[in-house]
Amino acid sequence: MTDIAIEMVSVNKWFSDFHVLKDIDLTVKSGERVVICGPSGSGKSTVVRCINRLETHQKGSIRIYGSEVTERPEDLRGDVGMVFQQFNLFPHLSVLENLTLGPMKSRGLSRSEAEDRARRYLERVKIPEQADKRPGQLSGGQQQRVAIARSLCMEPKVMLFDEPTSALDPEMISEVLDVMVELAEEGMTMIVVTHEMGFARKVADKMVFMDAGEIVETGAPAEFFGNPKSRRCQTFLSQILSH
């Protein structure tokens, strides 16, 4: 059972009267890369936010490596990295301090251990020279790579990406996607909410299409893009691939 990273079983969620997630079943194996797409408001962000307990679900079960997320969510959060659309870097701290804060305060690393680790991950996202700058001095693409490094510094077992390139200028999208592709090739378990279908084709083991709070279709990328079964999925793909 340990090779199952995330297991969602008939998860339901309401925002007061609005039924945002309807009987979501999703299994992600360790090392698997899952891309979730769908029109805005379909609930795809809510799925990843439920997995790391930024949102609470009302029915069903979400297990991460066998343990239910409702129990001790604070333990789980370090194991599940999260990259946000708006980066959410801490603007009052330097890049290096952004990266060392979690390892020092929640993992109990010493400052020098945390800084060694931070510099290693900055190297991996290819901006080691920016360590002493403030986030506000970096471009959007650089900020998002810092945010990815900040998550990696917690050495998570799973990485969640919530539309990581949607707030970026077009010329900066590829530098972020390159980092994510490398991460995928190294075997990181990933769930990525994105509209970047080129990226999805390249790295996804499994595609998930959501609409109106439901998982409408899942499948391997070749099947998913080549021969989508549902009408809604066909329409969506034709809309986002046509330009």
* Exposure class string for 148-182: b at 16+ Cβ within 10 A, else e: bbbbbbbebbbbbbbbbbeebeeebbbbbbebbee
Residue 86 found at the interface with another protein (CB under 8 A): yes
Residues numbered 117-136 forming contacts with another protein, rule: CB under 8 A = none
Calpha distance 59→46 (Å, rounded): 14
According to CB under 8 A, which one of 52, 144, 165, 189 is a site residue for another protein?
52
Q: Residue type for 149, please? A: A
According to CB under 8 A, which one of 54, 181, 212, 237 is a site residue for another protein?
54
Nearer to another protein among residue 63 and residue 107 (C-beta): 107
Residue 71 found at the interface with another protein (CB under 8 A): no
Residue 151 found at the interface with another protein (CB under 8 A): yes
According to CB under 8 A, which one of 107, 120, 124, 195 is a site residue for another protein?
107
Contact 95, 138 (CB under 8 A): yes
Residue 92 found at the interface with another protein (CB under 8 A): yes
Residue 74 found at the interface with another protein (CB under 8 A): yes
Strands, sheet with 67-68, edge to edge from the N-terminal-most edge strand = 18-29, 4-15, 59-64, 67-68
Residue 101 found at the interface with another protein (CB under 8 A): yes
Q: Which stretch binds another protein (CB under 8 A): 12-20, 36-44, 64-72, 99-107?
A: 99-107
Residue 150 found at the interface with another protein (CB under 8 A): yes
Nearest distance from C-beta of residue 5 to another protein, angstroms: 17
According to CB under 8 A, which one of 102, 135, 140, 219 is a site residue for another protein?
102
Under the phi-then-psi rule, with left for phi > 0, alpha for psi from -120 to 50, and beta for the rest, what region is 148? alpha
Nearest distance from C-beta of residue 121 to another protein, angstroms: 13
Residue 105 found at the interface with another protein (CB under 8 A): yes
Contact 37, 200 (CB under 8 A): yes
Residue 80 found at the interface with another protein (CB under 8 A): yes
For binding to another protein (CB under 8 A), which residues are involved? 52, 54, 74, 77-78, 80-82, 84, 86, 88-92, 101-102, 105-107, 147, 150-151, 153-154
